[in-house]
Structure 1
Amino acid sequence: MGWKETAEPVLTRMPGVARPEGHVPFRRKLMWTGAVLLLYFFLTNVTLWGIGGDTTDLFGQFRSLLAGGQGTVMQVGIGPIVTASIVLQLLGGANLLGLDTQDPRDQMLYQGLQKVLVVVMTILTAAPMVFMGNFLPASKELAANLGVGLTGVEFIIFLQIFIGGVLILYMDEVVSKWGVGSGIGLFIVAGVSQSLVGGLFYWGGEGGEQGIIPQWIDIILGNAGTIPPLLTTDGLAWLLLDASVLAIITTVIIYVVVVYAESVRVEIPLSHARVKGARGRFPVKLIYASVLPMILVRALQANIQFLGRILYSQIGDAMPAILGAYTVSNGQAYPVGGLFYYLAPIYSPQDWMWWLGQTANESWQIMLRVSVDLTFMIVGGAIFAIFWVETADMGPDATARQIQNSGMQIPGFRQNAGVIEKVMERYIPQVTVIGGALVGLLAVLANMMGTIGQVSGTGLLLTISITYKLYEEIAEEQMMEMHPMMREMFNQ
């Protein structure tokens, strides 16, 4: 008996959101999407009951990308979902699961397995945060009042985080089946947009962090302190970094490049085998695999840094130097040497511009870290893009079958799935690798130059790309609402 037969009774009974039996009107899709988004914002503002004292964010700069809220019910965000996807991508890519995604039974097993993995990853992510290193400290006063001890309060905190992790899984499923786009994409856009808006308009207290617009108002009113002469080297550095001009330029450039790259495509002509004059085109976009595989790459980096912080919290300065050396600032531990330092992504211009004097590391150490980050993102982006295309049925073979089943063919070639697949192999694998590597490069460059609200480059890329795709999907939905005949053609 294989593993599928053994696990089937459990996997097929995992709770799930029922698919709509018929067409869901566009307004109802928007209603479901808006309702889930409101619930997400509500949960990211529900503080964990039982917390005492300051909390430490283990995910740090990855927080907006993982769409969670530090110290809230949404503490783990989409992290467990993404980590489970990485595991399934690797197992599926190595063909270790033996599942055929075209088979309805195997599809159900795959979805059930994914949910089980998300539950396991939620436990593995939440448990160290609560029970190790005092990252989410339990209230001693509450423990005394309840008479359950600190362990009891920690278990209550863990239970809240676990419930939040399961909730976000089913919220994603509701959006995917009843709403517009995907829940994961929606939550990322929501989290990053909050940071972008805060980076522009947040009016901090005296001496605190401020948004760009309040900062410029202070500069104009002469409340920004001493400003070096702008025509000097110090003045230019102040204008680009302290006045956030470089962040604005980078954000605008990334926006333009991503929108342009989304529109660049190779269009393969198609014609209907039986209906004369019925023609179409199959677009192979430059970013064929979309920007979503970047979540997997960054999540892998986040898990590595998560492991480093857990180790440091347990053994402190006794950690071997080859693994990592840490410094603590504002209650957060940051790697400054060792393996975890070189594997840490570049977050801002100050992380690599050693001539500014804001880092104690040698120039060769910084450039080695930049090289590792570039290699990790470019190579990882290409590899995960390939995995994404194969598991999402976007590869040459799956695409050829879809074209064949629709009754279309490529003019000048025989109507045969094998022939169509050979034509697709000329474009899809190459474009997938190039697009994945390009997105990885853009993500690192955006981090190096800095963005509005200190949003990570990957988060900015994802937000722009997801928003663009949402716009396309909404336009398509509206067209189908106006022309019901098109819905029948696309089996909607």
Structure 2
Amino acid sequence: MSFRSVMEPIFARLPAVARPDKQVLFKNKIMWTLAILALYFILSNIPLFGMSAESIDLFAHYRAFFAGATGSLIVLGIGPIVTASIILQLLVGGDIIHLDLSDPRDQSYFQGAQKFLVFIMIILETLPQLFGYIQPDAGLAAALGVDTWVITLFLFIQICIGGVLIMYMDEVVSKWGIGSGISLFIVAGVSQSIVTGLVNWLPGTDGFAIGLIPKWVQLISSGELGSLFSSFDGILYLLVNAGILSLISTVIIFVVVVYVESVRIEIPLSHTSVRGARGKFPVKLIYASVLPMILVRALQANIQLIGVLLAGRGITFLGEYSGSTPVNGIMYYLSAINSPSDWIPSLVQSNYASMGFDAPALWQIGLHVGVDAFLLVAGGIIFALFWIETTGMGAKQTAKKIYNSGMQVPGFRNNIASIEKYMQRYIPKVTIIGGAFIGLLTLFASLLGTVGSAGGTGLLLTVSIVYRLYEDLASEQLMEMHPMLRSFLGKED
């Protein structure tokens, strides 16, 4: 008896959100999407009952694109979903698990395996955080007359419930709403960070407001702006702490992503039965979207999780940590660059001094930036290639969709093999170029920082997701007016 024959019935029995029996009306899709978005914000503001104030967020630096909220019911965010996707994409892409994702049965098995793996990852990502990081409230335990392990168990149950809710909320949006829940949650979390970074009037460590707008209002009204321009440290403060670099980075990323999303190669198509009926198949420069960047950063986050857990047990051969921040060793080089404070020497020295560690040498900082650049570019290419194959966007799957829609490439034989051969000229090459480009763009945003400390990856994802959501909205409206377009766009339910 094979492993697949044993697991397939288990995957089939996993609870799932039912698919709609007929096409969901556009207004109903909007309502489902908004309802899930509202539920996400409600859950992100429900604190974990019994959590101590001394708890540490292991994924603080990756919070923006994990779409979770520190100390809330959805502290895991989309982490388990993304991690499960990474594992399966590597196994399928490396041909360790033999699946033909153009085959409906194999596709169903892949989706079942992914959901099963998400349940496992929810548990595996929850347990390490409860061993010294998300701590139980000893005062609450004493007040209730129970041992702290009872509070820890209750925390475990809450976090697991939150992880399962996020998984099924994503499934609801994918089947009944517009786009995907993962994309929706990322946009919600990053947008909240950006708005907070612009208008937060609470005072920071420098005495001025944290938000960009109130901080500049205070700087101008206090008369200190002129004195800051008169020294190097003052100019550095304005660039980094006062948010000039992050504002420039945010604007540039927004403009570049919107422009690049419109850059495409248009492959001419003609109808096999209707003379004169022609169309075009667009292959965007960012063909695989920017979602593979989530996979790259999630891989780094899981590597850092291993380092944190080992360091917490006194095993520091991979590197030491201050909270969830690696300060030396191989884990330092494998960590993500998040802001100018991670690579500008004077800021790095200041941060290390506050943590009580010796700052890395200049060459070590340079190597750190170089390693992160390599991981983003190489990882962007690899995961982009895996992404298009596992989501039905590869040359073979695309050729099949074009053929089934009754279209063909002019001048080529009307069969799937000929269309696939033509698509192979463009799709893999554009995917590689797009993956490398999006990796470099992520590095640029990470080096300069972003408004609200949303992170370069988070901002990049948000702008691209919002742009594609706009395209999805237009596509849904068009298909509602012209239902025959659904077969060509691969939207049959």
- The two structures, once aligned, show a CA RMSD in angstroms of 1.8
How many Å separate the matches in 1 of 2:429 and 2:134?
46
How many Å separate the matches in 2 of 1:208 and 1:145?
39
Q: Do 1:228 and 1:234's aligned partners in 2 also have CA atoms closer than 8 Å? A: no
Counting aligned pairs with the same residue, the percent is: 54
- Unaligned residue ranges in structure 1 (runs of 5+): none
Q: Do 2:402 and 2:488's aligned partners in 1 also have CA atoms closer than 8 Å? A: no
SS across alignment from 1:102: coil
Which region of structure 1 is more displaced relative to structure 2, 237-246 or 395-404? Answer: 237-246
**Offset from partner CA, 1:168-206 (integer Å, 9 cap, x none):** 000000000000110000000000001000110111137
How many Å separate the matches in 1 of 2:81 and 2:471?
25
Structure 1 residues 333 and 107: CA distance shift in structure 2, 3 A: closer
After TM superposition, the structure 1 = structure 2 runs for residues 105-254 of structure 1, keeping only pairs within 5 Å, are: 105-130=105-130, 132-133=131-132, 135-205=133-203, 207=207, 210-222=210-222, 228-230=227-229, 232-254=231-253
SS across alignment from 1:64: helix
Structure 1 residues 251 and 18: CA distance shift in structure 2, 3 A: same
- Unaligned residue ranges in structure 2 (runs of 5+): 353-358
After TM superposition, the structure 1 = structure 2 runs for residues 64-463 of structure 1, keeping only pairs within 5 Å, are: 64-130=64-130, 132-133=131-132, 135-205=133-203, 207=207, 210-222=210-222, 228-230=227-229, 232-315=231-314, 319-320=316-317, 323-326=318-321, 328=322, 332-356=323-347, 357-358=349-350, 360-463=359-462
Residue identity in the other structure for 2:219: I
Q: Note the C-alpha offset of 1:420.
A: 1.4
Residue identity in the other structure for 2:61: Q
Q: Do 1:324 and 1:337's aligned partners in 2 also have CA atoms closer than 8 Å? A: yes
Q: Do 1:78 and 1:184's aligned partners in 2 also have CA atoms closer than 8 Å? A: yes
Count of residue pairs brought into register by the alignment: 481
Residue identity in the other structure for 1:8: E
How many Å separate the matches in 1 of 2:178 and 2:109?
25
How many Å separate the matches in 2 of 1:293 and 1:209?
35
SS across alignment from 1:17: coil
How many Å separate the matches in 1 of 2:413 and 2:487?
27
Q: Note the C-alpha offset of 1:13.
A: 0.4
Structure 1 residues 380 and 98: CA distance shift in structure 2, 3 A: same
Residue identity in the other structure for 1:425: Q
**Offset from partner CA, 1:422-457 (integer Å, 9 cap, x none):** 111111111101101111111111010111111111
Residue identity in the other structure for 1:305: Q
Match of 2:356 in 1: none
Q: Do 2:405 and 2:487's aligned partners in 1 also have CA atoms closer than 8 Å? A: no
Q: Note the C-alpha offset of 1:69.
A: 1.0
Q: Note the C-alpha offset of 1:486.
A: 4.2
Structure 1 residues 424 and 108: CA distance shift in structure 2, 3 A: closer
Residue identity in the other structure for 2:164: V
After TM superposition, the structure 1 = structure 2 runs for residues 465-484 of structure 1, keeping only pairs within 5 Å, are: 465-484=464-483
Residue identity in the other structure for 1:319: T
Structure 1 residues 191 and 284: CA distance shift in structure 2, 3 A: same
Q: TM-score, normalised by structure 2?
A: 0.94
Q: Note the C-alpha offset of 1:355.
A: 4.4
